[in-house]
Amino acid sequence: MSAVLSAVHLSKCYPVYRRPSDKFLEIVTRRKHRTDEFWALRDISLEVPRASSVGVIGQNGSGKSTLLQIVAGTLGQTGGDLFVRGKVSALLELGAGFNPEFSGRDNVYMNGAIMGLSKSQMDGRFADIVRFADIGPFLEQPVKTYSSGMFMRLAFSVAIHVDPEILLVDEALAVGDLLFQQRCLHRIHRLRQDGVTILLVTHDLSAVTRFCQRCILLDHGRMIMDDRPDAVVQRYRALIFARQQEQGEENSLDPSADAEPEEPDPQLAPVIGLPAMDHRFGDGRAEVLGVELMDPLGRARRELFTGEAARVRISVRYRAELPRPIVGFTLRDRLGVEISATNTLHEDYPLPPGRPGQVCTVDFLLQLPHLAPGAYTLSPAVAQGALLKHEMCDWVDNALHFTIQSSRLVYGMFRMPAALRHRVEEGVARE
């Protein structure tokens, strides 16, 4: 495949003036003043083939955003050569390319014009842009009144609807809510299948390993690795761990630090309300009334520690006779990947037959696995039938969002606790 992006010894240096007045005097006198140098990028060489997805990772200040800004053409390099073959659509930072005084509608058309599209071409895309952004009546309001999430919805929607050949995404998806992040990642995956080349700067290492075909690790402006995503992510984690050890950092997260002795909740009080709803389906013979994530004492939580004890409470209302009701839930990560699922039959806990008007509340008492820190969702459901053959009465996708923290490093999706044994021998002579 031909390369759509080639960088040869690409470098970017910023002069650092010792006093603010030095820069002013340099402009007035046209004489160079003594400055320090900060190399944001140094001697970067790479080629990106068409229709590939490349992740760029590294600590803050490693040069990730600088690289994408140079590729986008919003920043010039100090040295080296860059060749870009194709239309570039960039989502670099919140507000880039938007006039805060203009309405959302005006900014959509203005950005289309910047990308070389005529008004008639934007007219044909406008409905799809609005549908994907889903910001309602705010479309006619000045974007300075938008929340950061609304701003990003509109900016991302425009970026993917202007027929880009190269899409640059720099941590932009971290601004939106979890459901919008999943929708964006699904759309980016479709763009990649359609032949769009994607450069993704992110701190979400799971997104890099699952989405990108290749990954680049930058450190202090230099590229120190260019390889498979899993290998690069492992190198990056080792780098972070080594620096934490050097600095003597100790993670002070302690899931029991604020715990107060209380008696567990003896009642299974019904929970009413679904905090979110991505999609809902079922035959309507029963409905999910609510779902809640709690600690063992029955207190609602939206943040848990990996490995912590918890309970998931689900309340359902029967609207018809259900001889064999089943209640359960699915756990997903922020990318929509299913981590695990369970239900009452799977746990050998058959529920009594349900009658119309009854409300059934079920608690699932859990010991959370050692999940990687990040955002997760719960999707509750109620069905009728057997474990392998049943009819879905009500399923609510991503009804509850929560986050997991960890006091120790977790590789991959979760940590597997292991019991270890070892043996040490002195050298044994062999015949």
> Token pair for residue 31?
């004489």
Q: What is the distance between the alpha carbons of residues 381 and 325, in angstroms, rounded to a whole number?
A: 11
Same domain, 202 and 66: yes
- Tell me the pLDDT tens digit for each residue of 53-73: 999 999 988 999 899 999 988
- Shared domain check, 161 and 38: yes
Say if residue 243 is in the same domain as residue 283.
no
Alpha-carbon Rg for the chain, nearest whole angstrom, is 27
Residue 8, in any domain of the structure:
yes
Q: Are residues 38 and 101 in the same domain?
A: yes
CA distances from 255 to 111, 193, 305, 312, 370 (A): 47, 43, 6, 18, 13
Asked if 382 and 329 touch (Cβ cutoff 8 Å), the reply is no
Once rounded to an integer, what is the mean pLDDT over residues 228-239?
82
Kindly report whether the global pTM for this prediction surpasses the value 0.85: no
Cβ-proximal residues to 352 (8 Å cutoff; 6+ apart), any chain: none
Whichever domain contains 146, its CATH number is: 3.40.50.300
Based on the fold, state whether residues 171 and 57 are members of the same structural domain: yes
371 part of a folded domain: yes
- Within a domain: residue 171? yes
The predicted structure's pLDDT at residue 230: 80
Regarding whether 305 and 173 lie in a shared domain, the answer is: no
* Identity of the residue numbered 261: P
Same domain membership, residue 164 and residue 15: yes
Most confident of 12-16, 235-239, 265-269: 12-16
Residue ranges making up the domain that contains 379: 279-414
Number of domains present in the structure of the chain: 2
- What does residue 371 show for φ and ψ, rounded to 5 degrees? -75, 155
- Please indicate, yes or no, whether residues 39 and 143 belong to a single structural domain of this protein: yes
> Is 390 strand, coil or helix?
strand
Token pair of 147 as six digits: 């929340």
318 with 243, same domain?
A: no
Number of CB atoms found within 10 A of residue 14's CB? 12
Query: 86 lies in a domain?
Result: yes
Q: Do the domain assignments include residue 274?
A: no
Residues 338-373 have pLDDT tens digits of 889 999 999 999 999 999 999 999 999 998 888 888
Residue 396 pLDDT greater than 70, yes or no? yes
Spatial separation of the C-alpha atoms in residues 280 and 287, rounded to whole Å: 10
Q: Are strands 53-57 and 214-219 parallel, antiparallel or unpaired?
A: parallel
For residue 275, give the nearest of 228, 313, 310 by alpha carbon. Answer: 313
Same domain, 95 and 146: yes
Percentage of the chain with pLDDT > 70?
86
111 pLDDT band, cuts 50/70/90, is confident
Is residue 272 domain-resident? no
Instruction: Band the pLDDT of 317: cuts 50, 70, 90.
Output: very high
pLDDT band at 1 (very low <50, low <70, confident <90, very high): low
Domain-located, residue 255: no
Strand locations in 97-251 (E): 166-170, 197-201, 214-219, 222-227
247 — pLDDT class (breaks 50, 70, 90): low
Per-residue pLDDT averaged across 170-175, rounded? 67
Q: What is the pLDDT of residues 185-222, one digit of tens each?
A: 778 888 888 889 999 998 877 778 778 899 999 999 99
Question: Quick one: pLDDT at residue 431?
Answer: 54
* Spatial separation of the C-alpha atoms in residues 233 and 230, rounded to whole Å: 5
* 284 and 163 within one domain: no
What is each CA distance from 259 to 206, 295, 302, 312, 378, in whole angstroms? 31, 10, 16, 19, 24
Residue 253 pLDDT more than 70?
no
CATH at residue 357: 2.70.50.60
Minimal CA–CA distance to 112: which of 164, 50, 190, 152?
A: 164
Enumerate residues 6+ apart whose C-beta is below 8 A from 114: 97
User: Is residue 396, in this structure, part of any structural domain at all?
Assistant: yes
Task: Give the Cα separation of 154 and 100 in Å (integer).
Answer: 13
Pick the more confident residue, 333 or 319. Answer: 319
Which residue is listed with tokens 């934490």?
244
Tell me, what's the pLDDT at 387?
Answer: 83
Top pLDDT among 139 and 2 is at 139
In order of 75, 118, 315, 408, the CA distances from 110 in angstroms are 21, 10, 49, 47
Residue among 180, 164, 84, 134 nearest 172 (CA)? 180
For residue 376, which amino acid is it?
A: Y
Query: Could you give the CA distance from residue 338 to residue 334 in angstroms, rounded to a whole number?
Result: 10
Query: Mean pLDDT, to the nearest integer, of 93-109?
Result: 82
pLDDT at 7: 94
Q: Which residues contact residue 112 at a Cβ distance below 8 angstroms, ignoring those fewer than 6 apart?
A: 119, 121, 122, 125, 158, 162
Strand partners, 10: 44
CB atoms within 10 A of CB 336: 17
Amino acid at 334: R
Nearest alpha-carbon partner for 271 in 296, 295, 300, 308: 300
Angle at 20 between CA 15 and CA 22, to 5 degrees: 70
Cα 94 to Cα 86: distance, rounded to the nearest angstrom: 24
- Whether residues 49 and 169 share a domain: the answer is yes
